[in-house]
Structure formats: structure tokens, C-alpha cells
Amino acid sequence: MKLYDYVLSPSCYKVRLMAALTGVKLEIRPVDFHPGAEHRDPEFLALNPAGSIPILEDGVLILTESAAILAYLASKTAPEWLGSGAPEEVARIQQWLSFAHRLTSSLGGARLHEMLLRPGDIGALQAQGIAALRELEAGLVEQGLRGMRFLASDRPTVADIACFPYVALAPDGGIPLDPYPAIRLWSRAIRGLENFIEMPGIHRLHELKSEPNVEPGDA
């Protein structure tokens, strides 16, 4: 399977991470996203008219949209990442996969503005990002009350992988994660998974500090 990839892209990292966690070997085709904007070349627009990466090629199959790619990798190799199939869990996974788009536009938009000097209203992007983080924090506190460490279940699913990268990189967009103890705990749990891989700005679990204490109602 070939991944059209940019090393600093959180959306591409979702795919690399999912592949690593499920033991899928990817052939990486680096894309000059910045400064070359190669993803907007005609050759790329023919693959993905939306002009975004990641793009995954598996034989004649071409997949765009990171959520679809995560689902594909999981169904092919490790279906447990799609959850148990229980109706409530199916719905929660879908809910967080949709929510991940809001993280891309808000936290990802703020990051592009701060790192690549993309034009945009940074105040509005950060406000939307903070609203999304508060929602995520509340969702994780609720899950904690149900005895679950992850977004949709007591084990990680594609929903966690879809949401994790933009959240972990929020500080790049000027949005600190200090006010969100449940998010920080969740991030630790993901970074501590077997076969977890890093990207620039997201590291394996290595904190020496003890875990934050999350009380119901902290969100």
C-alpha cells in the first residue's frame, strides 16, 4: 500500500500511526506539501480532487479522507479497531469520526496559521479549537465515569486515532493543553500503546510526572 504523505501532516500521521499499530507496511511517497504545494498539482488533483493528503493507493483502489483510510486499514487487518459492533459503540465511533473534522478545521487551521503563516482569523480558529477541546474533555470525563479510557470503548478504536493527532499538536497553534486533564490522560494512554510511532511534535510516553487526577465535573 502506498501512502502519499507529508511528515508534518497530522492527517497523514493518522494513517502512519494506524498502520504501525495494526502491523501494516506502507510504502511512503513523500509529498512536497510545503513550500511546493505539490498536492495541488494536476497529477494529485486527478487522485484527489479535494486537493488534500493523505491519499492511499492499494492496487487499483485509491482512497482519500483519513477516516475512510483508517477504516480500510482496520477492516483489512485488525477489525477490533472498528469496535465491538455494539450499536452504541458504533454510533460513538461515528460521532467522534465526524468530530475529527472540526479538530482539523479549528486546531489544524490554527496550526497552519502559526506554522506556515496561512492567512486566517487566528482568534476565531483558536476559539473554535478551544470549544472542540472542551467538548472532547467532557466526552472523555463521561467515558471515565463509565470506566472507559478511550473515546468509544475501553479499548482504542479508529475514533481515537482520528482525533488524537490534531489534539496532541494543539500547542503548535497556540492552544495549550494544560486545562484538560482528561485529554492529557487519554493522550498518555494512546502514546503508551504498543507499536505507537512518533511524528515531529508528538512523542512516545516518557513523562516522569504522575498522571493527572481527573475528578468528575472537571471539564
Ligand X SMILES: N[C@@H](CCC(=O)N[C@@H](CS)C(=O)NCC(=O)O)C(=O)O
If the CB atoms of residues 104 and 153 are measured against ligand X, the closer one turns out to be 104
If the CB atoms of residues 34 and 155 are measured against ligand X, the closer one turns out to be 34
65 belongs to the binding site for ligand X (CB under 6 A): yes
If the CB atoms of residues 50 and 145 are measured against ligand X, the closer one turns out to be 50
57 belongs to the binding site for ligand X (CB under 6 A): no
Interface with ligand X (CB under 6 A), residue total 11
**Scanning residues 69 to 128, which ones bind ligand X (CB under 6 A)?**
104
In whole angstroms, how close is the CB of 2 to ligand X at the nearest point?
Answer: 16
Please give the helix or strand (H or E) that residue 3 lies within, else none: strand 2-5
Separation of alpha carbons 95 and 84, rounded Å: 16
Give 72-100 as a DSSP string: HHHHHH-GGGG----HHHHHHHHHHHHHH
The cell numbers describing 160, all together, are 481515537
11 belongs to the binding site for ligand X (CB under 6 A): yes
Q: Name the one range near ligand X by CB under 6 A: 16-24, 45-53, 147-155, 181-189.
A: 45-53
Q: Give yes or no for a cis peptide into 181 (omega within 30° of 0).
A: no
If the CB atoms of residues 54 and 83 are measured against ligand X, the closer one turns out to be 54
> 3, 4, 9, 22: which one contacts ligand X (CB under 6 A)?
9
Which candidate, 33, 32, 24, places its Cα nearest to that of 69? 24
Kindly list the residues in this chain that would bind ligand X in the complex (CB under 6 A): 9-11, 39, 51-54, 65-66, 104
